[in-house]
Structure 1
Amino acid sequence: MAVERTHWEDLPEPTRATVEKYAGRVMRAETVSDGMNSAVAMILETAFDKFFVKGLKRSYPRRWTQDMEWMIGPYVSGISPRIQWRTTEDEEWDLIGFEYIPGRHASYEPGSEDLEKLLDTMRRLGRLICPNLPLKTAESRWKTYVDKPEDLRWFVGERLLHTDYNPLNVLVSDGRALLIDWAWPTKGAGWIDPACLILRLIAGGHTPEEAEMVASGLPAWKEAPTKGLDAFFTASINMWREIAEADSAQWKAAMLKAAQDWHNYRVRA
């Protein structure tokens, strides 16, 4: 369920004053419509600079996603927009200001030129050392969805993973692809990120074979164990079935179908 947007002029005066303390006097504010999980998502043009600002009320159940983005931001600045400030002292709203980078969301259609840009970014992510932070682990993320608990051993690893390759989370700008929305930074086996991408590619119109071909250039994908993939298919089907049954949004049903189609392809292969 998408979170209802709150515009700049609707924020409390103390919150706006706090933002301007960090960002400068706001000259223009534009609410953006893309994305579903932030009550505030806007571009602010100030006397000093331009920022993308996102956030939630402190009382919101998933406000912890702000903590995740703030925590991981300094470690992924080379492949993501840089975090600039956060309204930690505001009593009602938790807002984060990012550097503003003009661009567009990636296209996942077969043949899209955006895909090679994304793969280059994923290769760079795969070379990063996972920071010593209290990140969720892949085995804990998927533990309720595997059929056999012992299969979680395949998910264990030391790589930093993004895991949410929704095309809305990939910003294409100036010949590069940047990863945004780090709400779920995870520590786990490196092949999990390519697997998460493949699911999104299938949902975006690729056949399972085509999607695997796109990911074949990623070193981490070449290391994917067959039994680990079997566990991932099962967990993905179970997870997206639960999500689709709780919310009838078309894209969630498409993700469930993508997981099922990929599983069926691998069984036949």
Structure 2
Amino acid sequence: MQQRLGWHDIPAEVRAAIGTRTGPISQVRTASGGANSALAAVVDGVGGRFFVKGVRHATHAGIAAHRREAAVAPHVARVAPALRWRLPEVAGWDVLGFDAVDARHADYRPGSTDLPAVVELLQTVGEIPCPPQEVTITDAVRRWGPYLPEGAEPAQLVGDALLHTDYNPENVLITSDGTARLIDWAWAARGAPWIDPCCLLLQMIADGHNPASAEHWASRTPAWHTARPRDLDAFAAASLLLWQEIADQDPHRTWTRDMAFAAHAWCQAREARRRHD
């Protein structure tokens, strides 16, 4: 997790370099959400309004995710704000400038009118071809394989679908016309197409859905139906171990505990279904 810095905490050389891309800057609003970037702000300049993200090269975990997002950006223009410029090396920083989107964060709660747009977004992501192998993104087996339960096989996670994997509602923006846009591709991965619907349903459970309701919404996507019941069972168990580990590492973050609770609820629901069947 990166400590978020204010605009004037950024080196003057970095601020000046950003200004060469935005034109003279009239306003900067530091973003409160997100955890991957030391710099995250909406910057208004003569050249337009940009969402600017930056990390220091010395922060190895942050720079890996940052570079992954930059590499994926040209491939996800159907669903994500465009990456307009990049400053890959300025005073030890790597900075990205995206189009700023006039939108609000999605509401995943039961009964929300945003849910159809969110599912439509998920379906569109499933239609985007995975970037070629030379584009460095992580692999689903590497991400979830170590957490699979006994009897499950890493091959269950294998696929050539492009996955976002982080459907936190802060990463889904709803525009004034009701369209959903997907930001923060730092955790993009390659794997089985049904994984992204599972990632979304966990977030929905964390926002108040019961597992049956969350699965109902996920099942509206074609990708969901490529999974066998044993794939979903294995992923539910792996998600529980993964999120419990994350929550244990930092017990003071409420959202990680919420995700661990959601994973536990889904895993229990899958186990109950197996016993009933």
TM-score normalised over the length of structure 1 = 0.95
Matched with 1:221 is 224
Q: What is the 5 A alignment of 1:1-269? A: 1=1, 3-62=2-61, 63-132=63-132, 133-148=135-150, 151-174=153-176, 175-248=178-251, 249-269=253-273
Deviates more, 1:199-208 or 1:21-30: 21-30
Q: CA deviation at 1:53?
A: 0.5
Q: Does the 8 A contact of 1:105 with 1:167 survive in 2?
A: yes
Structure 2: runs of 5+ lacking an equivalent: none
Residues 69-114 of structure 1: CA deviation (Å, up to 9, x unaligned): 1000000011001001111130322111000111111111001111
1:146-189 deviation digits (Å, cap 9, x = unpaired): 13475211111111000111111111113111111101111111
Aligned mates of 1:42, 1:252 — CA distance in 2: 24
CA 1:136–1:36 in structure 2 vs 1: closer, same or farther (change >3 Å)? closer
**Counterpart residue type for residue 239 of structure 1:** L
Answer yes or no: is the 8 Å Cα contact 2:152–2:234 preserved in 1.
no
- Maintained 8 Å contact 2:21/2:47: no
Does the CA contact (< 8 Å) of 1:58 and 1:91 recur in 2? no
Distance 2:102 2:182 in 1: 14
1:192, CA displacement in angstroms?
0.4
- TM-aligned CA distance change 1:53 to 1:149, over 3 Å: farther
- Name the aligned partner's letter for residue 230 of structure 2: K
Secondary structure, counterpart of 1:56 in structure 2: strand
Instruction: Report sequence identity in percent.
Output: 40
Deviates more, 1:204-213 or 1:225-234: 225-234
The amino acid of 2:231's aligned partner reads G
Number of aligned residues: 268
Q: 1:149 to 1:184 in 2, by over 3 A?
A: farther
**Contact 1:194/1:215 (8 A) holds in 2:** yes
CA distance, structure 2, for counterparts of residue 250 and residue 17 of structure 1? 37
TM-score by length of 2: 0.93
The amino acid that maps onto 2:52 is V
Shift, 1:137, TM fit: 1.5
Give, in angstroms, the shift of residue 141 of structure 1. Answer: 1.2
Moved more, 46-55 or 134-143: 134-143
**What is the one-letter code of the residue matched to 1:14?**
E
Structure 1 unmatched runs, 5+: none
Q: What's the CA shift for 1:210? A: 0.7
Cα deviation digits, residues 165-222 of structure 1 (max 9, x gap)? 1111111113111111101111111100001111111111000011111112101112
Q: SS where residue 54 of structure 1 aligns?
A: strand
Coordinate RMSD, CA, aligned: 1.4
Look up the equivalent residue of 2:95 and give its one-letter code: L
* Alpha-carbon distance between aligned partners in 2 of 1:266 and 1:148, rounded to the nearest angstrom: 16
Partners of 2:236 and 2:5 lie apart in 1 by 38
Distance in 1 between residues matched to 2:6 and 2:72, nearest whole Å? 26
Further displaced range: 228-237 or 8-17: 8-17
